[in-house]
Amino acid sequence: MNLGKFFQKVENHFGNQLPFVMYRKPKQTKVFGRFQNTSDLHCTSDFSESGFVFSPFNAQEQTVLIPSSCSDFEEVDLEFNEHIAFDEHHMYENQFERKQHIHLVNQGIKAIKSTSLKKVVLSRKETKHLDEFNLITTFKKLLKTYNAAFVYCWFHPKVGLWLGATPETLLKIEGKNFSMMALAGTQEYQGTLEVEWQNKEKKEQQYVTDYIVDNLKSVTDSIKLSDVETVKAGHLVHLKTMVSARLKDNIPLQSIINTIHPTPAVCGVPKEVAKTFILQNEHYKREFYTGFLGELNAHIILAPKGRVRNIENRAYAMTKKSTQLYVNLRCMQIQENQATIYVGGGITENSNAEKEWQETVAKSLVIKKAL
């Protein structure tokens, strides 16, 4: 199948109101699609299933699954050289939303200074009227603009249409190999990765790394940390540490996910205090923003290794289960002629509410550029 036929299949599926997801992994040149055969709503029961999951921020709510067993999988090379016209977007600040967000951030800072809360990620949503919307064009714009992101378009007639370009991996598991990312701290990219970071951002990111390491101890062995590095995500830069480990025997995926999601990159420290603060104070529902999405228990075939051979002296090809989940950031939901864009940022005791507002405005541009 070529890319044109692939997009035709997406359009037909969408036209017939059937669930599907198309996605491109960071820095890869293939686009994958999973197309469900019926409009049934499937949910995971314990993450032992196989397919593509779409999970909300609130882990008490159900995770939607496009099961491998009742969907087609397609894979195409991404080789489009067509010119795509991008509309210009100006920084637009809604003063009411600004006041509201600044108030929320100040409430967060106050709670950090007076309770056990140390860090909380506070967010908002913003709507944008769309004169016209074409999901293929927007998906292509996201692909062209964000090579290092996980770019996706996900649809279920009973849930909605979501698109995004997230810089953050929640976890990767291949056999017993485990890795995840501690990503936090934001600045606008100024043409170089030689960036000065303030203590506020360093601390904000360190909370994420510490939380991951502390929580992984019960489910993994030999945890290793990379150096902290500056990474580019579109016109922004973040601080990142990669965490890798070996999974202990017989740990169900569900308990790994419950242990780490939501991380302090999207929730806070301590987790339950931050989550309660968010649910009580944000005054809107995050839905799938800051949830996670991706391939669940995919069967992958590994290239045969020289030494292990069968009776005919042929090297064995091994199959392994692989799960690759991404945090749903820099995303939007499309409803009729309106896009709802979700943005947030980590708050610590040294945060400045006006700067936090500006950060959400800058983050909203990631998605607006593709509209």
Instruction: Write down the least CB distance from residue 168 to ligand ISC, Å.
Output: 6
Taking the C-alpha atoms of residue 263 and residue 275, their distance in angstroms, rounded to an integer, is: 10
Site string for ligand ISC, 265-304 (x = CB under 6 A): xx--------------------------------------
Binding segment toward ligand ISC, per CB under 6 A, in 66-74, 112-120, 126-134, 178-186: 178-186
Q: Binding of ligand ISC at residue 330 (CB under 6 A)?
A: yes
Taking the C-alpha atoms of residue 211 and residue 335, their distance in angstroms, rounded to an integer, is: 36
Q: Are strands 150-156 and 160-166 parallel, antiparallel or unpaired?
A: antiparallel
* Helices 199-216 and 253-260, packing angle to 10 deg: 150
Taking the C-alpha atoms of residue 104 and residue 353, their distance in angstroms, rounded to an integer, is: 9
**Torsion 200-205-209-215 (CA) sign:** positive
**Considering only CA atoms, which of 187, 209, 207 is closest in space to residue 198?**
187
Q: Binding of ligand ISC at residue 353 (CB under 6 A)?
A: no
Instruction: Write down the least CB distance from residue 268 to ligand ISC, Å.
Output: 10
* Helices 353-368 and 95-114, packing angle to 10 deg: 130
Taking the C-alpha atoms of residue 316 and residue 46, their distance in angstroms, rounded to an integer, is: 31
Binding segment toward ligand ISC, per CB under 6 A, in 96-104, 151-159, 298-306, 344-352: 344-352
Q: Considering beta carbons, is residue 51 or 345 the nearer one to ligand ISC?
A: 345
Q: Binding of ligand ISC at residue 56 (CB under 6 A)?
A: no
**Torsion 186-187-189-191 (CA) sign:** negative
Among positions 10, 184, 267, 332, the unique one binding ligand ISC when judged by CB under 6 A: 184
Q: Binding of ligand ISC at residue 9 (CB under 6 A)?
A: no
Instruction: Write down the least CB distance from residue 107 to ligand ISC, Å.
Output: 17
- Joined together, the tokens standing for residue 274 give 């931050």
Going by C-beta distance under 8 Å and a sequence separation of 6 or more, which residues neighbour residue 315? Answer: 304, 305, 306, 307, 308, 309
- What is the helix (H) or strand (E) element at residue 345, kind and residue range? strand 338-347
Taking the C-alpha atoms of residue 20 and residue 268, their distance in angstroms, rounded to an integer, is: 32
Q: Binding of ligand ISC at residue 141 (CB under 6 A)?
A: no
Q: Binding of ligand ISC at residue 64 (CB under 6 A)?
A: no
Q: Binding of ligand ISC at residue 238 (CB under 6 A)?
A: yes
Taking the C-alpha atoms of residue 317 and residue 301, their distance in angstroms, rounded to an integer, is: 7
Q: Binding of ligand ISC at residue 345 (CB under 6 A)?
A: yes
Among positions 346, 361, 364, 371, the unique one binding ligand ISC when judged by CB under 6 A: 346
Taking the C-alpha atoms of residue 133 and residue 136, their distance in angstroms, rounded to an integer, is: 9
Binding segment toward ligand ISC, per CB under 6 A, in 80-88, 110-118, 217-225, 340-348: 340-348
Site string for ligand ISC, 194-233 (x = CB under 6 A): ----------------------------------------
Instruction: Write down the least CB distance from residue 228 to ligand ISC, Å.
Output: 13
Q: Are 45 and 67 in contact (CB under 8 A)?
A: no
Instruction: Write down the least CB distance from residue 104 to ligand ISC, Å.
Output: 14
- Scanning the structure block, which residue is given the tokens 């939303």? 97
Binding residues for ligand ISC, how many (CB under 6 A)? 17
Instruction: Write down the least CB distance from residue 273 to ligand ISC, Å.
Output: 17
Q: Which residues 97-126 are close enough to bind ligand ISC by CB under 6 A?
A: 121, 123
Q: Considering beta carbons, is residue 183 or 293 the nearer one to ligand ISC?
A: 183
Among positions 56, 67, 185, 268, the unique one binding ligand ISC when judged by CB under 6 A: 185
Which residues are at the interface with ligand ISC (CB under 6 A)?
A: 121, 123, 168, 183-186, 238, 265-266, 329-330, 343-346, 363
